[in-house]
A = this chain, B = another copy of it.
Amino acid sequence: MKEIDLIGFIKELWPINRSITGKGLRQTLSVIKEYLPELNLYEVETRTKVLDWEVPEEWDINEAYIEDSEGNRIVDFSENNLHVIGYSAPVNKELTLEELEPHLFSLPEKPNAIPYITSYYKKYWGFCITDLQKKELKSGHYKAVIDSRHFEGSLTYGDLQIKGQTDKEVFISTYCCHPSLANNELSGPCVAVALAQWLLSQKDLKYSYRIVFAPETIGSATYLEKNLNDLKSKVIAAFNLTCVGDERAWSYLPSRLGNTYTDKVALHTLNHCTDSYSKYTWSDRGSDEKMYCAPHINLPMVSVMRSKHGTYPEYHTSLDTIGKVVTAKGLSDSLELHKKMISIIENDCVPITKIIGEPQLGKRGLYPNLSHNRSSELVRTRLDVISYADGKHTLLDIAEKCDVSFFDVLDELEVLLKHDIIQIDYLKV
């Protein structure tokens, strides 16, 4: 197993031209498998019905460029894989600027950015360029070449399954269909791989874990087609890993139902372990949660992100790069926060005091001997854990009630377990 270096991993995957099917996707998954040898890879044939969708053809592209009348390659896919509309149809013809223009995409409000545009479900060809460049194009003749092809093949995805003490699962999904874009979206697979390596290093996990790497939307539809009943019967918490690479913000996007256990865990963690965060609503959704939380599926999936997709200026453009957007600290803080959420899920339980009435902590050395004004303040959290250990509150509920971090409450629980004051009942989520 290759140990992950966060930034190194993104750099390694950066040059690959990914799409929702094809060579780039397959190559990306095989790199991930070097880090996670237990990753299972699957191929699903073109035209297979997956939920309301159908697995599309594979897409392959060799080269693509625009030449001006003097034979200069003024736009070249080999320089930046965003220059071609994702899944673009082939073309090879000469045209006037006027004829070319409906096939040129730029962002007037971000003149030096190449936009990321795809056309998966309607065959179209086009180039994406900076608005600066577009404005300088002179009328005249151009040659547009996209040497791409669509063909019957298969869609590739992978999953990693880690067995815990129970069959109940925490489900983690991320996607790897975006070409050279850093925050959205190489940060997701990056943090997912690191999180998986950490989970594999943990002993005695209570829950099982399933981490899915697939193309966005069509990949999650495919995964659900194959695994829906399994997921519905096992999953107790679910996270979508996306936009987890910058250090400019924290963001919370709820599950569709909005009040699931995953939502509670995420909100508690964000409240106690970040300085501030933006709280989005379900109507701000935009990634695989759309599929996983949909009616009849209802997985309790939450996204804890840094800067949310669609909200930062470099989103879906050539400016979404390592350095400008994604940083080592951004990635590693995301990783730590997800570890914390998982630790909460692993350690949450229903504590029940074994003692009728307030216990005498003093005789156990758990309380100051001399009473004075602030005696009980010193052991406030300890007393609170006991006080709410009535079988009706989870440890997370107690942390919320006391407005302290879950981990402070957990520390006290461990003391109380050692002194046989508390017993624990397992949590039914």
Contacts and interface: CB of A to CB of B under 8 A. Distances in A.
Interface of A: 51-53, 85, 115, 117-122, 124, 217, 220-221, 224, 228, 256, 282-283, 285-286, 290-291, 293-298, 310, 315-316, 352-353, 355-360, 362-363, 369-374, 376, 380, 383-384, 386-391, 402
B372 A295 contact: no
Contacts of A297: 356-357
Contacts of A387: 256, 282, 285, 290, 293-295
Contacts of A360: 52-53, 121
B356 A52 contact: yes
A48 B405 CA distance: 39
Work out how many copies of this chain go into the complex: 3
A116 to B, nearest CB: 8
A295 B228 CA distance: 41
A373 B121 contact: no
Given A357-B221, A360-B121, A387-B295, A402 B372 contact: no
Contact of A295 (B117, B256, B390): B390
Contact of A355 (B52, B228, B357, B371): B52
A295 B389 contact: yes
A282 B385 CA distance: 12
Given A290-B358, A357-B51, A369-B124, A391 B117 contact: no
Contacts of A122: 362, 369
A118 to B, nearest CB: 5
Contacts of A224: 356-357
Nearest to A389: B295
* Interface core residue of A117, A217, A294, A374 (most chain B CB under 10 Å): A294
A390 B357 contact: no
7 contacts: A119-B370, A121-B363, A293-B387, A296-B353, A297-B357, A315-B373, A316-B373
A102 to B, nearest CB: 11
Given A315-B373, A353-B296, A358 B52 contact: yes
A53 B355 CA distance: 10
A423 B316 CA distance: 36
B119 A371 contact: yes
Contacts of A359: 52
B296 A357 contact: yes
B358 A294 contact: yes
Nearest to A224: B357
Given A122-B362, A283-B384, A295-B353, 20 more contacts: A51-B356, A115-B372, A119-B369, A119-B370, A119-B371, A120-B371, A121-B360, A121-B369, A220-B357, A221-B357, A224-B356, A228-B356, A256-B387, A286-B376, A290-B383, A293-B387, A294-B357, A294-B358, A295-B352, A298-B390
A121 B369 CA distance: 7
Contact of A356 (B296, B362, B363): B296
A294 B356 contact: yes
B53 A291 contact: no
A264 B284 CA distance: 25
A84 to B, nearest CB: 13
Contacts of A120: 362, 371
A357 B291 CA distance: 5
A57 to B, nearest CB: 15
Pairs A-B, 6 closest by C-beta atoms: A295-B390, A51-B357, A122-B369, A121-B362, A296-B356, A52-B359
Contacts of A390: 295-296, 298
A389 B122 CA distance: 27
B391 A295 contact: yes
Contacts of A228: 356
Contacts of A256: 387-388
Contacts of A355: 51-52, 296
Given A117-B371, A315-B373, A283 B357 contact: no
Contacts of A353: 294-296
Which among A53, A256, A285, A295 has the greatest number of chain B C-beta atoms within 10 A?
A295
